[in-house]
Chains A and B, each alone.
Chain A
Amino acid sequence: MGAACRIVGGFVALVWCVAAPGPGAALAPGTPDRLETLLLHDCGACHGGSLKGGLGRPLLPAALTGRTEETLATIILDGIPGTPMPPWRALLTPADAAWLARRLLKGSTP
């Protein structure tokens, strides 16, 4: 997984601008519920339902120290090539990814 970290570093610079929620990308009512469900169930399929890790790495705040919201949102949208982490851009908006990133760093629903 060390290689994965290095790849991510390269990607962050590349897609920096994508992570920032654009105007009008505000979350629709009810969306946080949908995203929370997605996080615990669908992200949880690999990262564990309590986010403490599985085939994918742990996503609890303690495991994410040093990561920024932008970094995480970028990983969510673009995935990590060479690993099973897929790009979620086809299913999530940049605003969704930013919400998930904040949720992960905070450790609970913002």
Chain B
Amino acid sequence: MSIRSLLFLVILLAVAASGQAAADGAGCPPLRGTGDLGMVIERDGGAVLVVEHSGRTILGRVDGLGDLSHAAAVFSRDGRHAYVFGRDGGLSKVDLLGLRLEKRIVQAGNSIGGALSSDGRLVAAQNYEPGGVKVFDAETLALVADLPADPGGPAPGVRSKVVGLADAPGNRFVYSLFDAGEIRVADLGDATHPVVSRFAGIGRQPYDGLITPDGRYYLAGLFGEDGLALLDLWHPEAGVRRILDGYGRGEQPLPVYKMPHLRGWALASGRAWLPAIGRHEVLVAEAAGWTEVARVPVLGQPVFVIARPDGRQLWVTFALPENDRIQVIDVPTGAVVRTIATGPAALHLEFTPRGDEVWVSVRDRNLVQIYDTASFALKAELPASSPSGIFFTARAGRIGF
């Protein structure tokens, strides 16, 4: 081998080595799964933090999502994409692995949340203005169906705000009409020909709704009355019935400084645990017959009552002025076992998929706190600008999330 050809070989090897180094570095990130990914809404900046809960780190920030002052998110089946619903009617599709905003449309004037269909192909947004539900292709965000929340009849133009949108098996979406006091079920089995069933007269001012983990029962919380409206989706012909009727027993409710949220609600040990509106109580209903069996006194008006995934604990956030603390209820005894001072404006919490840890957004401290749910020890704090909703991709596999 000549000196020249030896030199050539050395250069060739050097180039190959540097190419490998580049492939291992920033140019081609290592493969990773999506099962431990998540997202924290930064409500002031119109941005989301992409996080992972195995190592409790922030992977990056994606901005340009518009007004996220009341934002919610759902995930694609594979956990790679998040669909973020912004207050300004924006629907954003975020690539969690690519850390980028893949697509954004403004689909309404004022929106509040959404849901993914059971086949994962449709994403539905619930809108205040114009009131209704719009359904989009989850891949392209092209409009598939527009379902106005108008009452029909003599005043077809008056639309109702839509709340409590939930996905049900069979590519159905269930939602409530705040102004009209209705529950509607939209069947998008044939997405181009949606069939909407209406259940009127469910009670005054439904403010949110939830669906049970099996996708069978839909409950709408009523602001204007003490009670909830229940629809059995296995027997829709039986209509809507009232449960926990008159739970206030005629007492004057307290001022409600923040509407409770029912999505992310708790079903534990065969009992449903629900925030009482205008009361410092968590209502406990036996889930087989939906009758009240107990109440748990708590320190303020509950906003979120969320069960740890194993159902042994419930973690509760509160409305003003008690929103600087959260409480933990022990399910077997039905008693508060811990009060944690988080600092002002603890807005939301999300458990890791098996519940070993819980992430809590503390808006006015610009922090996400991570607690061990067995010892209640504060394990880590992550900086976030006015954090609100926290959403982990484990939601992708759950009905109603």
Which residues of A does B touch, CB under 8 Å?
37, 40-42, 44-46, 48-50, 52-55, 79, 82, 84, 86-88, 90-91
* B259 and A53 contacting across the interface, CB-CB below 8 Å: no
Closest 10 CB pairs of A and B: A49-B69, A86-B255, A87-B255, A44-B69, A86-B256, A48-B87, A50-B67, A45-B258, A84-B223, A86-B257
Would A53 and B257 be within 8 Å (CB), given that A48-B110, A84-B205 are in contact? no
Q: Which residues of B contact A54 (CB under 8 A)?
A: 70, 87, 110, 112, 128
Total residue contacts A-B, CB cutoff 8 A: 66
CB neighbours (8 Å) of A44 from chain B are 69-70
Q: Which residues of A contact B161 (CB under 8 A)?
A: 55
CB-CB under 8 A from B87, the residues of chain A are 48-50, 54
User: A91 vs B67: C-alpha distance in the bound complex, in angstroms?
Assistant: 27
**A48 and B70: CB pair below 8 A?**
yes
Chain B residues numbered 38-71 whose CB sits less than 8 Å from any CB in chain A: 43-44, 67-70
Given the complex of chains A and B, what is the CA–CA distance between A46 and B178 in angstroms?
13
Bound Cα distance A48, B88 (Å): 9
- The answer to whether A79 touches B69, judged by C-beta atoms less than 8 angstroms apart, is no
Task: Give the distance in Å from the alpha carbon of A41 to the alpha carbon of B257 in the complex.
Answer: 11
Q: Name B69's contact: one of A50, A88, A90, A91 (CB within 8 Å).
A: A50
B212 to chain A, nearest CB (A): 24
Cα A54 to Cα B43 in complex, Å, equals: 15
Within 8 Å of chain A (Cβ to Cβ): is B95?
no
Chain B interface (Cβ < 8 Å from any Cβ of A): 43-44, 67-70, 87-88, 110, 112, 128-129, 161, 163, 178, 205, 207, 223-224, 255-259, 320-321, 345, 363-364, 386
Query: With the chains together, A40 CA to B70 CA distance in Å?
Result: 11
Residues of chain A within 8 A (CB-CB) of B163 are 55
Main secondary structure of the interface of B (DSSP, over half): loop
Bound CA span A53–B257, Å: 16
B161 to chain A minimum Cβ distance, whole angstroms, is 6
From B68, B255, B364, A79 is in contact (CB under 8 Å) with B255
Establish whether residues A50 and B88, one from each chain, have CB atoms under 8 Å apart when the complex forms. Answer: yes
In the complex, besides A41-B69, A88-B257, 6 extra interface pairs with C-beta distance below 8 angstroms are: A41-B363, A41-B386, A50-B69, A50-B87, A54-B70, A91-B320
User: Are A45's CB and B259's CB within 8 A?
Assistant: yes
* B207-A84 in contact (CB<8A): yes
Name the distance in Å between A30's Cβ and chain B's nearest Cβ: 13
CB distance from B336 to the nearest CB of A (A): 23
What are 16 A-B contacts defined by CB distance under 8 Å? Answer: A40-B69, A45-B70, A45-B259, A46-B259, A49-B67, A49-B70, A50-B88, A52-B88, A53-B129, A55-B178, A55-B207, A79-B255, A84-B207, A90-B255, A91-B320, A91-B321
Residues of A within 8 A of B321 (CB): 91
Distance in angstroms between the alpha carbons of A84 and B110 in the assembled complex = 18
Query: Whose C-beta in chain A lies nearest to the C-beta of B303?
Result: A45
In the complex, what's the smallest C-beta–C-beta distance from B340 to chain A, in angstroms?
A: 21
The minimal Cβ–Cβ distance linking B319 to chain A, given in whole angstroms, is 9
A84: chain B residues at CB < 8 Å are 205, 207, 223, 256, 259
Nearest CB of chain A from residue B234's CB, rounded to whole Å? 31
Which residues of the partner chain B approach A90 to less than 8 Å between Cβ atoms?
255
- Determine the residue in chain A with the shortest Cβ distance to B205: A84
Chain A residues lying within 8 Å of B70, measured Cβ to Cβ, are: 44-45, 48-49, 54
Verify A42–B255 contact, CB threshold 8 A: no
Chain A residues lying within 8 Å of B257, measured Cβ to Cβ, are 42, 86, 88, 91
User: What separation, in Å, do the CA atoms of A84 and B319 have in the docked complex?
Assistant: 14
**Which single residue of chain B is at the shortest CB-CB distance from A84?**
B223
Determine the chain B residues whose CB is within 8 A of the CB of A53 once the complex forms.
Answer: 110, 128-129
| Bound form: Cα–Cα A79–B258 in Å | 13
What is the distance, in angstroms, from A31's C-beta to the closest C-beta of chain B? 15
Q: How far is it, in angstroms, between the C-alpha of A64 and the C-alpha of B70 when the chains are bound? A: 22
